[in-house]
Chains A and B, each alone.
Chain A
Amino acid sequence: MTDQKPIIELNNVWKEYGDNVVLERLNLSVKAGEFVSIVGASGCGKTTFLNLMLGTEQASRGEILLDGAPLSAEPGVERGIVFQRYSVFPHMTALQNCMLGDEFSRSLSGLLLGRLVGKAKSDARDRAMAMLEKVGLANAANRYPSELSGGMQQRLAIAQALLKQPRILLLDEPFGALDPGIRKDMHGLIGELWQEQQLTVFMITHDLSEGFQLGSRLWVFDKLRHDPQAPERFGAQVTFDIPLHHDHASAEQMNELVTLPGTPHMAALNSAS
C-alpha cells in the first residue's frame, strides 16, 4: 500500500475569483482505496473543491492529477457523483436510471438515440438489476423516483454512479437530507460498497461525526490566515489531515479535534455524537 502511486495529486492548487481567494496552496495526494471525508464551516471552499474535482471549475493555479495525468476540464466517466438531491432522472424508472450509463454508448443506436438494442440491452438490464439488488432496490426496479423515499433515491443515485466504475466517487453531502435512522443505514451501505469495490471516495459532509465514522481519512478545510480588513484576501487550506482508524475509538479523536485551539469553527460546526 505504501509504495502505491497516488490516484489523485493536487500540486499547489489555488482557486480565486478576482481578488477573492477561496482555496490556497493545496498540496495533497490520495491513494486508491482511500475514503476522504471533507468537513469545514460553510463558505470555506468545500464545494469549490468538489467542483474542481468534478471538472465544472478549473484551478486558477496549480494542477490536479488523476493517475498522473491532468484531470480533464469537464465531467466524465472517470468521476462518479452523488449530490444531495436531483441526482436521479425523474422520468425514468429505477431500472432505466441504472441502465442509462450503459446506454450512453458509442454504438450506432447509442449515438443516435442514446439507447441500446438486442443483446447489449439485455446485458445492460442484467448489470443494472444486479446493482439494484446490491443496494437493496431490486423490488423497486420499476418504480419512478417520485415513488421512492429520500433514502431509496440516494441508493439509486449511488447505484447509478457505481455502474460506470468511476476512478473516484464524489459525494456532495449525500445524506444531508435524510432522517437520522435512514442515514445510519446509508452509512452501512456506503461503507460496505467502499470496501467491496475498492472505491476511492471523496465525501463532503456537514456532519462531523459522519466524517469520522465513514472515512479512512479526514480533511478539515479552514482558513489559516486571517486579515480582518479583507477577509477575502486569504483562502482556505486543509488545516487537518487525519488518518482514521476504525478499530480505535474515533469519537476520542473527534473530541480532541473539537477542543483543539485554532479551530474556532469546528466547535460550532457540530457536537459529538
Chain B
Amino acid sequence: MTRIINRTPNRYGRILLGILPFAILLLFYLSASDARLAENPNDKLLPAFSSFAEAIERMAFEPSKRTGEYLMWQDTGASLARLAMGVGISGLIGLIIGIGNGMVPYMRSPLSPLVTALSLIPPMAILPILFIVFGLGELSKVVLIVIGISPIIIRDLQLRTDALPNEQLLKAQTLGGNSWQIIVRVVLPQIMPRLIEAVRLTLGSAWLFLIAAEAIAATEGLGYRIFLVRRYLSMDVILPYVLWITALAFAMDWSLKRLSLLAFPWYHKEQGSRDD
C-alpha cells in the first residue's frame, strides 16, 4: 500500500473526479427542487430546469414585449462595454504609473504614497460621490472600476518593475540606452506579461464593482437585471444570469492566458510549465 500522497489518478480518473463535485451539486439541486415543487408547483425558490429553459428563451431569444430588445444580449453588451473600458483604462494607468514609479525615483517619491493612500479607500464608500460628480450614466460606473482596481495594478507592476535584476539595467546603460530607450526596450516588454497577470487577478474585483454600480443605478446591464428581477423572486432568471456571468469571466481569464502564451512565449518558457 503506497502512501496517499504518492498516489495520483490517471487521465480519465482526473476528468471524472473533476466532474464529480459538479454532478453532486446538480443532483442535490434537482432533488431539492423536485421535493419543493411536489409540495407547491408554484414554488419560485428552486425552479425546475424547464423553467430555466423558458426564462433563457424569453430573455435571450425573444424580443422584449416592452422595448422590443433581446434583453440578455443587451445587458451583456452594456456590462461588457463598461467592464472593458474600466479594465482597459486601469491597465493603461497601471502600466504608466507602475513602470514610472518603478523606474524613476523622482516620480515615485510624490506618487507612491498617494497611490498607497488611494488604494486604502474602500471604493464602494465613494460610489455616492461618483454618482454626484459624474452623474448616473456610464462614466460613474467606469470610474468606480478604475478607482477600484487601478491602485492594485499600479502597485503590482511597480513591484514587478523593482524586481527586475539591476544587472539588466546596468547592462542596458553600458549599451548606450537613455532612460526612455531602456524603459521602452528593456522594461516595458518584460512588464507586459505581468500586466496581463495583474488584469487576470483583478477581473474578479472589476466584476464586483460593475455589478454593485449597476445594481444601484442603471437601466441595463447584467447586474441591473439580476437586482431588478429579484423583486419578483425570479430565480429562473437570476441563476442563468449568474452562470452566464461566470462563463463570461472564465472566458476572459482563459483568453488572457492564451494571449499571454502567444504574445510572450519567452515569459512562459522562463516560468516553466506552471499551469494556472
A residues with a Cβ closer than 8 A to B are 54, 56, 74-77, 79-81, 83, 85-92, 100-101, 103-104, 110-111, 113-115, 144-147, 157, 160-161, 164, 166
Contacts and interface: CB of A to CB of B under 8 A. Distances in A.
Nearest to A79: B174
A75 B174 CA distance: 5
Contact of A77 (B176, B185, B269): B176
A104 B270 contact: no
Contact of B184 (A85, A113, A144): A113
Contacts of B269: 144, 146-147
A148 to B, nearest CB: 11
A90 B168 CA distance: 10
Nearest to B168: A86
A131 to B, nearest CB: 13
Contacts of B170: 54, 56, 75, 81, 83
Nearest to B266: A144
A164 B176 contact: yes
B267 interface: yes
A90 B174 CA distance: 17
A144 B172 CA distance: 17
11 contacts: A74-B173, A83-B167, A86-B165, A86-B167, A104-B181, A111-B178, A113-B184, A114-B185, A161-B175, A164-B174, A164-B175
Given A90-B190, A157-B171, A161-B175, 15 more contacts: A76-B174, A83-B171, A85-B167, A92-B266, A100-B175, A101-B176, A103-B185, A111-B180, A113-B185, A115-B185, A144-B269, A146-B270, A160-B171, A160-B175, A161-B174
A29 B181 CA distance: 34
A103 B167 CA distance: 19
Contact of A111 (B165, B167, B181, B190): B181
B163 to A, nearest CB: 11
Nearest to B268: A146
Nearest to A147: B269
Contacts of A100: 172, 175, 177, 185
B173 A75 contact: yes
A104 B175 CA distance: 7
Contacts of B190: 89-91
B134 interface: no
A78 B186 CA distance: 20
A33 B264 CA distance: 41
Given A81-B171, A114-B184, A160-B171, A104 B266 contact: no
B267 A87 contact: no
B189 interface: yes
Contact of A91 (B167, B176, B181, B264): B264
Contact of A87 (B171, B173, B265): B171
Nearest to B193: A91
A56 B176 CA distance: 15
A114 B189 CA distance: 12
Contact of B173 (A76, A88, A92, A146): A76
B266 A90 contact: yes
B177 A91 contact: no
Interface in B229-268: 264-267
Interface in B142-173: 165, 167-168, 170-173
A212 to B, nearest CB: 27
Contacts of A54: 170, 174
B176 A89 contact: no
A89 B164 CA distance: 10
Q: Which residue, B170, B175, B178, B181, has most C-beta atoms of chain A within 10 A? A: B175
Interface string B26-47: 0000000000000000000000
A111 B165 CA distance: 24
Contacts of A115: 185
A100 B266 CA distance: 17
Nearest to B167: A86
A110 B174 contact: no
A90 B181 contact: no
Contacts of A157: 171
A74 B169 CA distance: 12
A54 B168 CA distance: 14
Nearest to A100: B175
Contacts of A110: 181
Contacts of B165: 85-86
A80 to B, nearest CB: 6
Nearest to A101: B175
A85 B168 CA distance: 9
B267 A76 contact: no
Contacts of B265: 144
A62 B264 CA distance: 47
A35 to B, nearest CB: 19
Contacts of B177: 100, 104, 114
A81 B174 contact: yes
